[in-house]
Chains A and B, each alone.
Chain A
Amino acid sequence: GAGVSQSPSNKVTEKGKDVELRCDPISGHTALYWYRQSLGQGLEFLIYFQGNSAPDKSGLPSDRFSAERTGGSVSTLTIQRTQQEDSAVYLCASRLAGGSGELFFGEGSRLTVL
């Protein structure tokens, strides 16, 4: 596709369940980011993948959060034992290595934890 694709677009889950959010970046973009967007908190950095380097996980809020990127392309963000405070829009973005620095965002996955 032409842009960053995220799925599901909406996810409603019960507290304590695990969820997986998927991101398919723009082809050829080696850098991939996950952010969390919630009211009053703006865009919180979660994790950053760059090529084959070790990911920057400094933004993950707890050990319930993890992410992987397989084959340098698709990424999955996993939240285990979800809590109500995890409710937010999870945004994925990709960037071309050596490019202008512009991030291209997906439409996001809206997670609601009941």
Chain B
Amino acid sequence: AQRVTQPEKLLSVFKGAPVELKCNYSYSGSPELFWYVQYSRQRLQLLLRHISRESIKGFTADLNKGETSFHLKKPFAQEEDSAMYYCALSAPGANSKLTFGKGITLSVRP
């Protein structure tokens, strides 16, 4: 069974502080991992995926197979980063369902 755990429900930081949103997964194999974001009054949208190894809006996430983690990081948080963030996992290949964690609310204070 595939499972995604986001241990924290809320993270509140001041602008300019570093951010780390934790994500751990359970999957027997090599999954594909994603972070999705939902800004206030907007649709849920893809932020980044591990296979792209990209940085989006200053965020990065590294897949650690030993620790089965895919934490999302940003060195200097901005107020516009305030949103709900979901970690998600799917089996390899395009024909797989996506399993989401329960999400974490990031609040960046001025």
Residues of A within 8 A of B (CB): 3, 31, 33, 35, 40-43, 45, 48, 50, 53, 56, 91, 93, 95, 97-103, 105-107
Nearest residue (CB) in B for A51 is B95
Q: For residue A53, which residues in chain B have a CB less than 8 angstroms away from its CB? A: 95
Chain A to chain B contacts (Cβ below 8 Å), 20 pairs: A3-B43, A31-B94, A31-B95, A33-B98, A35-B100, A40-B9, A40-B102, A41-B102, A42-B86, A43-B44, A43-B103, A45-B98, A50-B95, A98-B94, A101-B49, A101-B94, A101-B98, A103-B98, A105-B43, A107-B43
Measured between alpha carbons, how far is A91 from B97 in the docked complex, in Å?
A: 14
Q: For residue B56, which residues in chain A have a CB less than 8 angstroms away from its CB? A: none
Nearest residue (CB) in B for A47 is B97
Given A45, A56, A101, which contacts B100 in the complex, CB threshold below 8 Å?
A: A45
Measured between alpha carbons, how far is A50 from B36 in the docked complex, in Å?
A: 21
Q: For residue A91, which residues in chain B have a CB less than 8 angstroms away from its CB? A: 44
Closest Cβ of chain B: how far from A90's Cβ, in Å? 13
A105 touches B94 (CB 8 A): no
Given A35, A98, A101, which contacts B34 in the complex, CB threshold below 8 Å?
A: A101
Which 3 pairs, one residue from A and one from B, show the smallest C-beta to C-beta distance?
Answer: A42-B102, A43-B100, A105-B44
Given A45, A97, A100, A103, which contacts B95 in the complex, CB threshold below 8 Å?
A: A97
Given contacts A31-B94, A42-B86, 11 further A-B contacts (CB under 8 A): A31-B95, A40-B9, A41-B102, A43-B44, A43-B100, A48-B97, A91-B44, A95-B94, A97-B95, A103-B36, A103-B98
Closest Cβ of chain A: how far from B34's Cβ, in Å? 7
* Residue of A40, A97, A101 with most partner-chain B CB within 10 A: A101
Measured between alpha carbons, how far is A107 from B41 in the docked complex, in Å?
A: 9
Nearest residue (CB) in A for B102 is A42
Closest Cβ of chain A: how far from B76's Cβ, in Å? 27
Q: For residue A105, which residues in chain B have a CB less than 8 angstroms away from its CB? A: 43-45
